[in-house]
């Protein structure tokens, strides 16, 4: 029997996210042949950064979009008066500026909260004309990157000593903290670079739940349960046994084929609430994930199907 699930990993500084993934993959294949060959991560961290990284295994890799599109929380240290080409401590200093006063920083920070437009760093994996932005930058050219809409829920200035500010940042998926440092620095009439970054929260998951890469084993793997599905923003339901085979072969289900989680029935009674086009995680009667469907016109159309027969 193969194991599918996910790990909450505390990525150490100095390692790429892919290096951590591959190390876990090799370790698990040595520990047990029960682990599948397919692995993935739900959002990377820069090599200089540490903190929460989600590693997916087996059929759960098909659900990466629901893990990735979650709010994040970071602990960051911005160094003012310096800006590197990569906007992190691994780059070359390209600009020098005067240090802003704490009062200036406190006045500027609120203007970066809410819905804002942000241009990703030149040294990022964003595609520009079919090529990765960092490859264009490494070739000595300036990539033309379009701004992206993001949400900064909150920025808390925890300390500001000499030229380094420690901040706690809560933001939407897709936010580049390096770009945020650059833009705040410019808004203060200076410049800034991220010199330390630690991700502490992804959606419902906290760094306090994470394990080191060496601790990822059969005891630390997490199962994709109905509770996990709901915490990621999915509705949940159980497919009645007579309709399971029809669904796993790609068939659309009538409403009578599923039983919605009882905790969500109150939502259906609310006239202002609709599950139209809302993804629903469908489970077997034994609690195994069978797939993700989209509820529309009182039917459930498959979006992701776990091809395995339920046990």
| Residue 46 annotated among the catalytic residues of the structure | yes
Long-range contacts of 159-165 (CB under 8 A, 24+ apart): 160/102, 160/105, 162/99, 163/79, 163/80, 163/81, 163/82, 163/99, 164/77, 164/78, 164/79, 164/80, 164/195, 165/77, 165/78, 165/80, 165/105
Q: How far apart are CA 66 and CA 84, in angstroms?
A: 33
**Active-site residue among 10, 23, 46, 261?**
46
Residue 171's region, left for phi above 0, alpha for psi from -120 to 50, else beta, is beta
Q: What is the dihedral of CA 45, 47, 48, 52, to 10 degrees?
A: 30
Q: Could you list the active site residues?
A: 46
């Amino acid at each position: 029997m193969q194991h599918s699930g996910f790990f909450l990993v505390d990525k150490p500084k100095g390692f790429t996210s892919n290096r951590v993934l591959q190390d876990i993959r090799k370790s698990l294949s040595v520990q047990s042949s029960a682990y599948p060959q397919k692995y993935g991560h739900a959002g990377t961290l820069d090599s200089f950064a540490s903190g929460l990284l989600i590693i997916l295994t087996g059929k759960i890799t098909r659900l990466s979009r629901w893990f990735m599109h979650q709010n994040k929380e970071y602990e960051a240290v911005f160094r003012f008066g310096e800006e590197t080409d990569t906007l992190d401590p691994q780059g070359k200093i390209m600009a020098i500026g005067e240090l802003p006063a704490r009062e200036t920083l406190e006045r500027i920070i609120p203007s970066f909260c809410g819905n804002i437009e942000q241009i990703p760093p030149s040294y990022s994996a964003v595609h520009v004309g079919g090529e990765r932005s960092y490859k264009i930058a490494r070739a000595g050219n300036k990539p033309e990157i379009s701004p992206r809409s993001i949400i900064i829920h909150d920025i808390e200035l925890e300390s500001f000593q000499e030229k380094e500010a420690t901040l706690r940042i809560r933001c939407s998926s897709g936010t580049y903290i390096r770009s945020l440092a650059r833009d705040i620095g410019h808004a203060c009439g200076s410049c800034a670079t991220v010199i330390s970054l630690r991700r502490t929260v992804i959606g419902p998951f906290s760094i306090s739940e994470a394990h080191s890469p060496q601790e990822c084993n059969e005891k630390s793997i997490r199962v994709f349960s109905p509770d996990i599905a709901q915490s990621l923003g999915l509705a949940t339901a159980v497919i009645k046994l007579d309709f399971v085979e029809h669904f796993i072969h790609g068939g659309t289900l009538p409403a009578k084929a599923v039983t919605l989680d009882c905790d969500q029935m109150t939502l259906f009674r609310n006239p202002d609430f609709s599950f139209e086009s809302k993804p629903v995680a469908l489970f077997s009667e034994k609690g195994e994930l069978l797939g993700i469907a989209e509820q529309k016109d009182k039917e459930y159309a498959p979006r992701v199907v776990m091809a395995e027969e339920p046990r």
